[in-house]
Amino acid sequence: MANNSSIGIFDSGVGGISVWKEIVALLPNESIIYYADSKNCPYGPKTDGEIIELSRKVVDFLISKDCKIIVVACNTATAAAISTLRKEYKIPFVGLEPAVKPAALNSKTNKIGILATEGTLRGNHFKRTSETYAKNTEVNVQVGYGLVELVENNDINSENTLKVVEKCIKPLIDKNIDQLVLGCTHYPFLCDAIKEVSGSHNINIINPAPAVASRTFDLLKKNRKNDKNIFYHFYSSGNINQLKNTVKLIKNIDTNKYKFISSRN
């Protein structure tokens, strides 16, 4: 890995910006190239084979941009593709998995909720983690139907958003969970709506993005940059304005370093 190379991040869409934000905070002297495959979003309903092929195309693109490490900022792509990517490419990868372990350790009711996509919930990562760390915990799962689409459309504060979130969260609340794991990088953008819906139920929301940033920090080790000539380039295979609007939600980062580019990759 070359010190002056960039960190690559990709997601099925704009959700991985929640991970990008945490990586910028931990590694402020690193350039980052972000790829949103919004044309093919959501990944959740797709087959593993389809997700692997889409992931390969994005990885090839990021490697062509001289990335030194790639963060798969998508739970679904991690579940379906990261094992294949690690076998086929020499570049280091950082992936995501639902934070079952901290949820189980911190639960007082021994009942936790996992809000995720179909692809994440059927993946081996989730199954292995649940079997290892939640043997004595009731794990309640819920597919976040429609949530990815809300974030992709930058619709995070409307009455419709609250209705869609409530439909997804209520079955978990009814199970008396006290820990809610966000198993998709899009979902942290809906935290305000989730908190409003969960109300007085005192549910702790777990966002895995900080842990992913920490892992990226550790893997880079001596290959971290130490200068201020950095940039943040954002590519999208779909509507570039959706990506722009999502990035604008992140405060206190120098927008002069931003560059948005439509991609037909």
- Between CA 246 and CA 38 the distance in angstroms is 12
- 168 included as an active-site residue: no
Inter-residue contact 40 to 54 (CB < 8 Å): yes
- 67 included as an active-site residue: no
Report DSSP letters for 18-54, one per residue. Answer: HHHHHHHHH-TT--EEEEE-GGG---TTS-HHHHHHH
Which residue matches tokens 């941009």? Answer: 65
Please report which helix (H) or strand (E) contains residue 71, including its range: strand 67-72
Inter-residue contact 231 to 257 (CB < 8 Å): yes
Q: Which residues pair with 180 in a beta bridge?
A: 113, 205
Catalytic residue among 41, 67, 168, 184: 184
Q: Point out the residues that are catalytic.
A: 74, 184
